[in-house]
């Protein structure tokens, strides 16, 4: 389990003052106060419930648009590589990752075909991708085409965060793949992903942070079209090169 930051205020949040339990008007206060506190307490969802809520929220989407920041932490490099852009999703399986900084590139997925356009290289690559290849990746998380309980061992976890109103869980793939496990931070109001951290076996990690999330909005059809400039090198999934 990830380390839990110590709470400097732990043990110092008691209610000051003394209650006169022998006074007639106050004898019932502990019971009334306890009932009120119990009624107002929002018990956190269990890890399985959090994963189920996440799955339900994702499957209930028609479209989604968000800003993202992607960071890659390598064990061999001190400074992480950070990239920023916009994510567009349209169910059942269309996604566009529009990277804007530091380099412009596009990842467009739909119908089992992945297109990758690198503006600096003026190159477009198209390849066939089996749906299960993305089951344990960020694409599979958002598409939620399979149950998280079928794909992962779901556990409670805690890791540093800069916000409240979130639920954090750890997902360990039942079938070994590129990642040993991943950490999810879920907004407990929308039950949509806020942060996803993929930890590689060798110690490197890839992190996604999502902000300005908008759901079920109308996305133009051209959002999921990819136009490249004249003279762009196009490589299809068979390796054939066209110019």
pLDDT at residue 128 is higher than 50: yes
pLDDT at residue 134 is higher than 90: no
Structure confidence at residue 118 (pLDDT): 96
Structure confidence at residue 18 (pLDDT): 35
Virtual torsion, Cα 177, 182, 186, 192, nearest 10 deg: -20
pLDDT greater at residue 241 or residue 88: 88
Which pair of tokens denotes residue 200? Answer: 């590689």
pLDDT (mean) for 7-18? 40
Q: How confident is the model at residue 149 (pLDDT cuts 50, 70, 90)?
A: very high
Q: What are the angstrom distances between the C-alpha of 10 and each of 6, 22, 159, 160?
A: 8, 30, 17, 17
Q: How confident is the model at residue 73 (pLDDT cuts 50, 70, 90)?
A: very high
Q: How confident is the model at residue 217 (pLDDT cuts 50, 70, 90)?
A: very high
Structure confidence at residue 7 (pLDDT): 42
Q: What is the pLDDT of residues 23-66, one digit of tens each?
A: 444 444 444 444 444 444 456 899 999 999 999 999 999 999 99
Least reliable range by pLDDT among 131-140, 184-193, 204-213, 222-231: 131-140
Q: What is the pLDDT of residues 160-215, one digit of tens each?
A: 999 989 999 999 999 998 899 999 999 999 999 999 999 999 999 999 999 999 99
Selection from 89, 83, 80, 79 nearest residue 70 by Cα: 83
């Amino acid at each position: 389990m990830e380390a839990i930051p110590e709470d400097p205020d732990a043990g110092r949040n008691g209610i000051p003052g003394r209650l006169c339990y022998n006074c007639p008007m106050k004898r019932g206060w502990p019971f009334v106060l306890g009932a009120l506190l119990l009624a107002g307490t929002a018990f956190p969802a269990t890890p399985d419930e959090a994963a189920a809520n996440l799955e339900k929220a994702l499957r209930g989407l028609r479209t989604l648009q968000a800003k993202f920041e992607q960071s890659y932490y390598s064990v061999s490099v001190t400074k992480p590589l950070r990239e920023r852009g916009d994510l567009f999703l349209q169910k059942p399986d269309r996604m566009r990752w529009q990277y804007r900084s530091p380099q412009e590139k596009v990842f467009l997925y739909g119908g089992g075909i992945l297109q990758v356009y690198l503006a600096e290289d003026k190159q477009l690559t198209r390849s066939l991708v089996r749906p299960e290849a993305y089951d344990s990746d960020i694409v599979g998380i958002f598409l939620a085409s399979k149950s998280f309980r079928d794909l992962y061992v779901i556990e409670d976890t805690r890791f540093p965060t800069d916000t409240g109103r979130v639920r954090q869980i750890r997902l360990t793939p039942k079938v070994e793949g590129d990642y040993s496990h991943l950490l999810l931070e879920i907004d407990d109001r929308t039950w949509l992903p806020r942060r996803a951290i993929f930890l590689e076996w060798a110690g490197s990690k890839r992190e996604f942070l999502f902000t300005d999330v908008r759901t079920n909005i109308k996305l133009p059809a051209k959002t999921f079209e990819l136009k490249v400039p004249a003279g762009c090198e196009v490589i299809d999934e068979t390796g054939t090169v066209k110019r």
